[in-house]
Each structure stands twice: as C-alpha cells, then as structure tokens.
Structure 1
Amino acid sequence: MTDASTEHRSCDQNSISGLPLHDLAGFTHRWVDAGGIRIHAVEGGRPTGPAVVLLAGFPQTWWAWRAAMPGLAERFHVIALDLPGQGHSDRPHGSYDTHTVASRVHSAVTALNASEYWLVAHDIGAWVAFSLALQHEEHLRGVALLDAGIPGISLPDSIPTDPDRAWKTWHFAFHLVPDLPEALLAGRERAYVDWFLKVKALSANTFDGAEIDHYAAAVAAEGGLRASLAYYRDAAESARRNHDALERQHLTVPVLGISSAHGSIPDMAASLSPWAENVTGVVIPDAGHFIPDEQPDAVVDAVTAFIDRERAG
C-alpha cells in the first residue's frame, strides 16, 4: 500500500487525462504493470483475508462495485480492477479477445501479491473471468459470474427479432459493424451510456446523473470507445479460444452463477453447467442487469456464502 503523499503522486502520474478519479473510504488506488500496460486497481479490506478480485463490464468501471466493496472488505482482501480499456487503465491497441485480456488481468493480480484468489465478475468482466479460469485455474479458489452472455458459452447464437427480447442483445451486432458505431457515438457517449444504465436496470432511477456522467466520461476518454467496441469485435476469437481450451479440460474450480430476476441471462448456472464440474446458482430478486448496483447487499451475501461453503468443503 502507498502512503498518502505517494498515492497522490501516483494518481497524478497514472490517471487518464481529464477523467476524475473517485475515492472510496478504506480503499487505495494502485497502478501495476501487466504485460507492458498499466492496470488500475482499487484495493482494501483485510490484508490477510482471502483475496477477492472484482471485474466490471460495459459501460462501467471498477466504480460499479463501490456499494458492494465495503461489505466484502469486512471479511476479504478486496481488489477491484479496471479492465484494459476501462476506467483508469491503459487503452492498448491490439487484441481484446478475452484470453489476451485475462493474461493481463492475472498479471495485474499477481503484481498485487495475490497468488490465489476468488474472481467475481459481471458482464464483459465475466467474459474475461471465464477465460482466465480456463488459463489459470490453479491460481483460483472459485469464480462467481453475474448476468453475462459469455462468448461461445452463454451468449446466444443469434439476436432475437422479437422486440420484447431484442433490446437486451441488439448492441452485440451493432458494435461489430466497422466504423459506424464510432461515427454515431463519438461525442454522444453520454446518451448511449444513459440508455444502457436506465433501460437495463430494473428501475430507471438506479443511476443518478453523476454516475452516468462518470461512466460516459470513461468511455469517451483516450480511446475508451475504441476499446469498449473491441471486446465485442473480438468476441468470435474469444469464443474460439474458449472452446479450444474446453476441448482439453472443463473447469474444475467451483463456479457460482448469479442471475437476476430481470436480467439478460435467466439462469447463469444452467448456461455454465455444461462447461464446469462444480456449478451452483443463485437468483437475485428485484434486480435487472446491473446487479452489483441494484442489489449490492444481496451480492455480498451470495459471494460470502459461496466462499464460506467452498472453503468449508
């Protein structure tokens, strides 16, 4: 951990230009090298407790976990990361297939001295977490995946045309189109992010204006839009590499599928069970897609119960 003066110097040196850096009481900002790029981490909790690594998805940053982090910190050593291209992490050019990103995430966690850890990940963060488990299972104690259409695993093969369902997944095809999303979204990032956060949450009041501003600024800053789209544009490669790895061995690490009553994937555990030997599931009521924001206490309870059960077993 850094002292206060070093921490402030690090923030000035490492933060993305013009993007405000939010603090959370009891947590410290860190930047670590991961394969030649800088990854931003927010670390706190019990230094000797089990390490729990949190990954967020589109269009969010580590800040998506802010309401759950204090509860987790009571028992665990908590590390929330910005993925490459997200928040205050670097936005490298090159591949954003989830195996490439997973290698960088694991390097970052290792640099933070967590040799064994639990992964808790939402949306695109869950894409990365699944691939990381395929690569580095020996370093993981367990993986909890929240409401995510993982490429090649739980992502539907086609976009539904029924309007009652199409709104949940239409953007996968849109993000794949070359150049057009950038032309339409550059300078309009806030309106786009606002739609996702308000429509995909169960309540349109889940996110206030300041939170929408924060996430929109992160997407707009220094290649953030390019990087956000790249995860989708490399999804086919992510799926191919997932299946190549699964041909060798299915996951043996414990997996928890966390669904929500009004989310995108009705039953995460069922979608994951063909690919893993030890899968359990839980459904969080009164939540849409953004479960950590909408029901943070329920997420803390589910993750804590999962870790306690697997450690006891």
Structure 2
Amino acid sequence: MSQNAAASPRPPAPLVQFSGAKPPAPDWFEKAVSVPFERGQSEVDGAAIHWKAWGERGQPGLVMVHGGVAHKDWWDSIAPFLAPTRRVVALDLSGMGDSDHRERYRMECYAREVLAAGRDGGAFDAGKPYVVGHSFGGFVSLTTAMNHGEELRGVAVLDSPIRPAEQQRRSSPPSRGGMSYPTFEAALSRFRLLPEQDCANAYLLDHIARQSLKPTTRPDGSEGWTWKFDPKLWDKMDYDRPAPADLVGGLKTRVALFRGEKSRLVTDEIWDFMREIFGPETTMVSIPDAEHHLILDQPIAVGAALEVLTGPGWGG
C-alpha cells in the first residue's frame, strides 16, 4: 500500500447524506416490497430461527441464506420476483437478524437451520428445494450440500471465495456491533457494508439498514438503538473450513458458482482456482458491473440468473 493510499481518509458512511430520510427508489423496487409474504419461526437446538416466505405453498422451493451479520431482508429485492413460480423462504441465521443468539455458532448447526426454516416455510412441500447463499451464507449452503445434499436439488453460491488451502483465512473477520445510538437516524447514518464497497443503489442500503436495527437501553439508562446481530458472533464461531478438495469431494448435490465481476474477494485468480477444482461441468456466472455485494449492486441481473438456474432444467 502506498503512503498516499494509507493516508486516504475513510469515506463517509453511505446514508449520512440522507439525514434519516429514505432515498428515492425505482418503481420496480416499490413493487417488490409490496408483494405479500408470510412470517414464521422454527426451533433449532433451542434457538428461535425467524424466516419469511413468498409465493404459494406447493410450488417448487427455494431457500435463501444471507451473508455474515446480515439478515433475511437482504433478499427483498430478488425473492418477490421469483415468487410467482416458487415458494421462496429466506431465514435469519442464529446470531443475526431476528433469530436468537447462541453461546457458540457452528456451521453444521447453521445447515440444520436452513433445512428447518425451509421445511416449516414450505420450500420442501413440492419436493427437494434449491438453496442459494451469499458470501458467508454461501459457505453455509456448501455445508448444507455436504451434510444434507441428498435432500436438495442444487445449491447456488454467490461470491464466496474458495481459496487454496494455504491461503484460507485463519482468523475471524473483524468484530462489529455492540454500539448503541441515541436515535434511529444516528444509528442509520453509521451503516456500512462489510466488506466496505461503493453501492449506487442507496435505496437498497437504506432498506436493509432499517431492518438491521432494534431498540435497546443505553448504558446511561436512556432508550436508543443498536444492531440486531450478536456483536460477539465471530468470537463465538467454530468455523473450520475443509480443504477445497475435501469440500468438492464431499458435496452431495449439484453446485453453481456466482461472483461479482469486480469482486475484491473472488478475484480472477480465485475464480480460476474455483473453476479448476469444481470442474468444467460446474455452472459459473460472473455478474457484470457488480462487486462482492452483487445482490445489492445488480439485483435484477442476479434475480434473472437465479430464475433460469433454478428452473426445471438445472439440478435434475
């Protein structure tokens, strides 16, 4: 890193400029968030796992898994457009969103949460569903494919970097959360993506940020706002990724790989490595003009790709 780069000031949080007001949103997004949905919860190992579902029960199923310290509402710009021909279920993993926190978090438990929410939400009513996961949720989806793949039609993994064994991350991501703010607007103005990146769709950032907050009592006894996710999530995570060859060899269902074309996590080098280990028959899709948070950068393109991918022709 150059001295100039190191000295560059951190840009302001993306929602500061709106001072708590909602940014203007296009008609297609307003239509998406007006689509009716059902809320429910499942119990897994003593924790309440919250979910929401769109579409009629009895249609082919699709379960959507958010990224780290995110939540089910990240899918609100995509799931409604898949709902006319599918039962789409999005869950909050434990420690995130509206779901309960745990003393420890384990990938195999997250896989059971995916299955439980999918069953209770109706994604299994028509048979085996697809599972789609973004970022950390992609690794949860791969764990589900390894442990329970015979119960799935296929898995789509969105911008989850699978690196050579010697390059795998050995430490947890940086801690976030734990702070409280005196007003909702003050909290909203602090929202940032993790990892940070530019995003032209401020209305999507605002939407997910508003669903990321909950009331709290501040240290001085006053009422305030804080983030929903467990601030000690990564410290409490038991997360040992298998070696790439073991991961691919252990999958029990078909897998498709997505990335943002401009992703700084799934770089060209990592993408080539993933193509090599998963093999030439694996569906691989780069979403143009998208970074790591491709479901926010290009939600329509991602939704269209998923509509084709999870149609009757893929996954058997």
TM superposition score normalised by structure 1: 0.71
Amino acid at match of 2:193: F
1:169-184 alignment, distance < 5 Å: 172-175=172-175
Secondary structure at 1:70 match in 2? helix
CA contact (8 A) 1:52 1:120 kept: yes
1:214 alignment partner in structure 2: 211
Amino acid at match of 1:194: F
Structure 2 gaps of 5+ residues are: 1-32, 216-224
Amino acid at match of 1:110: R
* Aligned with 2:128 (options 112, 116, 121): 116
Partner Cα separation in structure 1 for residue 93 and residue 232 of structure 2: 14
CA contact (8 A) 2:37 2:52 kept: yes
**Closer/same/farther in 2, CA of residues 42 and 270 from structure 1, 3 Å limit:** farther
Partner Cα separation in structure 2 for residue 262 and residue 308 of structure 1: 27
Partner Cα separation in structure 1 for residue 203 and residue 147 of structure 2: 35
Amino acid at match of 2:137: G
1:78-227 alignment, distance < 5 Å: 78-94=88-104, 96-113=105-122, 114=124, 116-149=128-161, 156-157=167-168, 172-175=172-175, 186-187=179-180, 190=187, 194-196=191-193, 199-203=196-200, 205=202, 207-209=204-206, 211-217=208-214, 220-221=226-227, 224-227=230-233
1:301-312 alignment, distance < 5 Å: 301-308=304-311, 310-311=313-314
- Structure with the bigger percentage of helix: 1
Q: Which is higher, the Rg of structure 1 or of structure 2?
A: 2
Partner Cα separation in structure 2 for residue 122 and residue 154 of structure 1: 21
* Aligned with 2:299 (options 275, 296, 299): 296
CA contact (8 A) 2:262 2:289 kept: yes
**Closer/same/farther in 2, CA of residues 194 and 156 from structure 1, 3 Å limit:** farther
User: Following TM superposition, by how much is the alpha carbon of 1:106 offset from its aligned partner in structure 2, in angstroms?
Assistant: 1.7
Secondary structure at 1:103 match in 2? helix
User: Following TM superposition, by how much is the alpha carbon of 1:191 offset from its aligned partner in structure 2, in angstroms?
Assistant: 8.2
1:168 alignment partner in structure 2: none
CA contact (8 A) 1:52 1:119 kept: yes
Identity %: 22
User: Following TM superposition, by how much is the alpha carbon of 1:74 offset from its aligned partner in structure 2, in angstroms?
Assistant: 1.8
Partner Cα separation in structure 1 for residue 165 and residue 158 of structure 2: 11
User: Following TM superposition, by how much is the alpha carbon of 1:307 offset from its aligned partner in structure 2, in angstroms?
Assistant: 2.0
* Aligned with 2:81 (options 63, 67, 71): 71
1:234 alignment partner in structure 2: 238
Count of equivalent residues: 265
1:13 alignment partner in structure 2: none
**Closer/same/farther in 2, CA of residues 272 and 76 from structure 1, 3 Å limit:** farther
User: Following TM superposition, by how much is the alpha carbon of 1:265 offset from its aligned partner in structure 2, in angstroms?
Assistant: 0.6
Secondary structure at 1:26 match in 2? coil
Structure 1 gaps of 5+ residues are: 1-22, 160-170, 176-180
Partner Cα separation in structure 2 for residue 128 and residue 270 of structure 1: 22
User: Following TM superposition, by how much is the alpha carbon of 1:303 offset from its aligned partner in structure 2, in angstroms?
Assistant: 1.1
Q: Deviations over 1:236-264 (max 9, x none)?
A: x3x1xx34993894325221111112222
User: Following TM superposition, by how much is the alpha carbon of 1:223 offset from its aligned partner in structure 2, in angstroms?
Assistant: 6.1
Output the aligned Cα RMSD. 3.6
Secondary structure at 2:193 match in 1? helix
TM superposition score normalised by structure 2: 0.70
Secondary structure at 1:49 match in 2? coil
User: Following TM superposition, by how much is the alpha carbon of 1:124 offset from its aligned partner in structure 2, in angstroms?
Assistant: 1.3
Instruction: Work out whether 1:32 is the aligned partner of 2:42.
Output: yes
Of 32-41 and 76-85, more deviation after overlay is shown by: 32-41
CA contact (8 A) 1:262 1:288 kept: yes
